[in-house]
Structure 1
Amino acid sequence: MLFISEQQLPDGVLEREFTLGDIPGTLWTPGSAAPAPLILTAHNNGLPRREARLVARARHTAARGYAVATIDGPGCGDRPRPAAHDRIRAELREALRAGRPADELLESLAGPLVEEGAPEWRTVLDALLELPELDGPVGYSGWAALGIRLAVTEPRIAVAGLFAGGYVPRAQREEARKISIPLLMLLQWNDEGNPRQRALDLFDAIGSTEKTLHANMGGHTGTPWFEQEDAGRFFDRHLGRTQELSPR
């Protein structure tokens, strides 16, 4: 892992850009000297890691006392996008405009992103946990499809927060039954292009005995900011920070 830039932010958070082979990423760490629990945050279906609302969530979480890491997945952000991705995305946009069924197109786009992305995330996790300023256990926050795959294949991930607003391939809908870690799912009730019932069925299928669903009115990007605070308390409980963050 090679750090290529760093910036001290006004809230005390240190923001560092890194590369690991051809994988670009960003790591935010809090100002405290003690090793911080790590949260991996992955975006939905190809958003660049520098997208403003994603960065805002990461910085807020780091200011709370966590290390937060994200990468650009295969074909996303700063990484080359295969011509097939552009073709599928164009066909998908046309199908959605015309009101035609789009599940097979979504499957052909999202499925490979999970299959190629999950091994990269595990490689990045290996490198991150070698840093002295980071510590376990590890949390995950973001795209549900990738989170499901990591939750059932990566034993170092102890807790997950999933956003229901991204397509989840059939393979991950089946894998959801194997999840056993504590889980929080966020759902926008009027999310355009993401059928509500599919998200509810996914939540029902998740095998965790401790799982929570928060649903809010509004569209895809309308998640209320207070959910960020609620997610912070959720991670506090399960990543061992409840006691040190409690009022004195």
Structure 2
Amino acid sequence: MTVKMTVQGGLIYLTLVFFVATIIARRGGWRTIGNAFWGTGFVAAVASVIWRGLHTGHPPMQNLFEFFLCMAAALWPLSVLSRRHNGLDTTVQDALLGVLILIPAGFVFGEDVRRLPPALQSSLFIPHVGSYVAGYVLMARAALMALPLFKRDIASDLLRQTETASRQTATIGFVLLTLGLLLGSLWGKICWGHYWQFDPKEMWSLAAWLVYAGYFHERMAHGVRAPRVLAALLWTGLLFIVLTLTWINLSRLFVGMHNYA
């Protein structure tokens, strides 16, 4: 674990400070101050992404460090849009998610600039990676929203509101993950001549997609009769995402064509 003594590191740590301040303020009942911290943290997160893009000379989506920066920047708009749509205020959970995302970016992943490989110099680069950035953030938010579903004595009104909000969030995330898979398949055909290479990252991304497909099948088949099963499926899908982003990308046991860490 290392501290980044650079402008990039400073922007990351500034964002972390505002996200933590958001959690403290909102938990302390200072809603307006917390919202101000939350919005300022978003500005700092966007500044971090822009700085990285200017520093590298290409869209900052090449490796895990840049991917995590983009996920942190996507949190605020997705949080605001979600609250306006379903009325569920998840600012504290979203800020906590932002902290968890930025800790690896700030202290674990290196910030060395790498030349963009020819395979990534494609018009599909931004839409493919962008779909996964937004999709992963939404699926993480859906899992956090579903936490109350594990309670045995949850009130029926809260059950209905929580389940609806998590399902709607997961639905949009699932569409984006599907889009990411399809764009990745098309990209693979263009670059390597095949739509599917059975690459470790391809297989684990598909595994996560299948878990979420199982979630929607369970929801359509049985409704909310087993809310803990629905919540467990959302968390299982998130576990697969975490494994895909970290272990599969970082482990030398899974060397493939998509390793970008």
TM-score range, shorter chain: 0.3 to 0.5
Decide which structure has the larger Cα Rg and report it.
2
The structure with the greater share of residues assigned to helix is: 2
Give the TM-score taking structure 1 as reference length: 0.35
Give the TM-score taking structure 2 as reference length: 0.34
